[in-house]
Amino acid sequence: MTLAIAHTDPAALIARCDTTGVRIAHGDLDYEDGAVLPVGPWQSLTTSEAASLRPTGLTADSTLVELAKLPDGPAPAGLASLADPLGDPDAFHVGRTTSPAKALTTTPNYQDGRRIGLHIDNWDKLNYRSKHTGRRRLCFNLGPGTRYLLLGSLDIRAICRCLHTDPNDRYPHTDDLRAYAALGLPLRVFRLRLDPGEGYIAPTELLPHDGSTEGQPEPSTAAFWLGHWPRGVLASPI
């Protein structure tokens, strides 16, 4: 599967989306060796690239990336309950994290603080055959700064098929992404801008991803939930 981003206005997607290739981190004190990172410089999305990101009739809700705006109406009593009316009574509030300004990627290895670069989540502990059915992640940028969502162009199942003769019983992992990128196989990164009050719903169990505040002068705090949400449950800016 390739990356699919829900949108009805290609110009609006192009206005907030850039793309670049990847590089592998080696000897960088801020990153794990082998981490997959955007190489830069970022290039504006073309009309044909925007068209290639449009979902098809075969795109399942569980594999779709959607941008979102905070719901209208009164704020919930607590942040954790923000996702309660969105259609999954079992949605889980993961918490929040504050990312520093000017960070190429944002997720640290909590053992030593080095950043891990593009990665695959594993909250649901799914194997190759069911990886595409995992919960999607809902994120809102609480500000004060702008942040980005970074997404790889291929999902981890497609990557595993390239690496392994029989991937069926494997548990796809960030190590598979790193092995694929280290071989120099085709992979693009797309960067989606998220202003304060905006967010996304994305299959982070399936797609290589991370946050970024590259070039942004202010830090930003992001809040996260996991759930099985139908497409279109929140209004989209694109």
- What are the pLDDT digits (tens) for 112-127? 999 999 999 999 999 9
Helical H segments across 102-169, by residue range: 156-163
Specify if 2 maps to a domain.
no
Q: How many distinct structural domains can be found in the chain?
A: 1
pLDDT of residue 138: 97
Give the global pTM.
Answer: 0.96
213 belongs to a structural domain = yes
Helix, strand, or coil (residue 85): helix
Please check the confidence at residue 77 and state whether its pLDDT lies above 80: no
38 — pLDDT class (breaks 50, 70, 90): very high
Q: Is the pLDDT reported for residue 221 higher than 90? A: yes
pLDDT of residue 2: 85
Instruction: Establish if 80 belongs to a structural domain.
Output: no
In a domain, 3, yes or no: no
pLDDT at 118: 98
Cβ contacts of residue 223 below 8 Å, gap of 6+?
79, 82, 93, 95, 96, 139, 140, 142
Assigned domain for 30 exists: yes
Q: Classify residue 232: in a domain, yes or no.
A: no
Is residue 150 situated within a structural domain?
yes
Q: Quote the domain boundaries for residue 167.
A: 10-73+90-227
- The answer to whether residue 174 is domain-embedded is yes
